[in-house]
Amino acid sequence: MKVNTKPYGLIDVDERQHIHFPAGILGFENLRDYVLLDALQQPFYWLQSMDIHEIAFVLIEPKIFRPDYQPDVPSYELEEIQLTPDDSENTLIFSIVTIPENQEEMTANLQGPIILNRKLHMARQCISENDNWKTRHKIMEELSNIRNSVC
């Protein structure tokens, strides 16, 4: 299928990249259909709205910079996308990234993870009940902490 995207313009996308959000994303509840795209710069992804091409989110897997990340979301939020807390095989977890002008200051929202049922291609933005996770974790700082703890 063809999708008009913010980062790449009009492209062909495999149907398997289509992700449905039954409740939308916080602040974008009326937009429920997206495609998940690889970004040119790894380890990032694009979550592109299929309805409004100007709406696209940069995503990252939080375990890359926080190996201890466990989102601790209520089970009823997972049930909406037909997941259980112990279904790690079908679960993918992403965080929305904010990239300011100074890219060294980019942050990831660990309080509001995007949890994806990769088997059913359904997702939900959940709210973590763990007070350790905030909306603005500095990715570069967290990566530096990992490097320093290994050395």
CA atoms within 13 A on the CB side of 23: 15
pLDDT of residue 150: 58
Nearest by Cα to 71 from 48, 55, 88, 46: 88
pLDDT at residue 148 is higher than 90? no
CATH number for the domain formed by residue range(s) 2-150 = 2.30.290.10
How does residue 144 score in pLDDT terms, banded at 50, 70 and 90? confident
pLDDT of residue 147: 76
pLDDT of residue 72: 94
How does residue 124 score in pLDDT terms, banded at 50, 70 and 90? very high
Whole-number average pLDDT of the chain: 95
Please state, for a pLDDT cut of 90, what percent of the chain lies above it.
Answer: 93
Q: pTM for the whole thing?
A: 0.93
- d(CA 44, CA 27) in angstroms, rounded, equals 22
- When pLDDT is averaged across residues 86-101 and rounded to a whole number, the result is 96
Three-state DSSP class for residue 107: strand
Task: List the chain domain ranges.
Answer: 2-150
| Cβ atoms 37, 84 nearer than 8 A | no
Nearest by Cα to 24 from 102, 127, 136, 123: 123
- Find the angle CA(41)-CA(49)-CA(112) to the nearest 5 degrees: 75
Around Cβ 59, how many Cβ atoms within 10 Å?
25
pLDDT at residue 133 is higher than 80? yes
Three-state DSSP class for residue 110: coil
- d(CA 5, CA 35) in angstroms, rounded, equals 9
Least confident of 98-102, 106-110, 113-117, 140-144: 140-144
Q: Which two tokens stand for residue 59?
A: 């995503």
Residues composing the chain = 151
pLDDT by residue (tens digit) across 23-82? 999 999 999 999 999 999 999 999 999 999 999 999 999 999 999 999 999 999 999 999
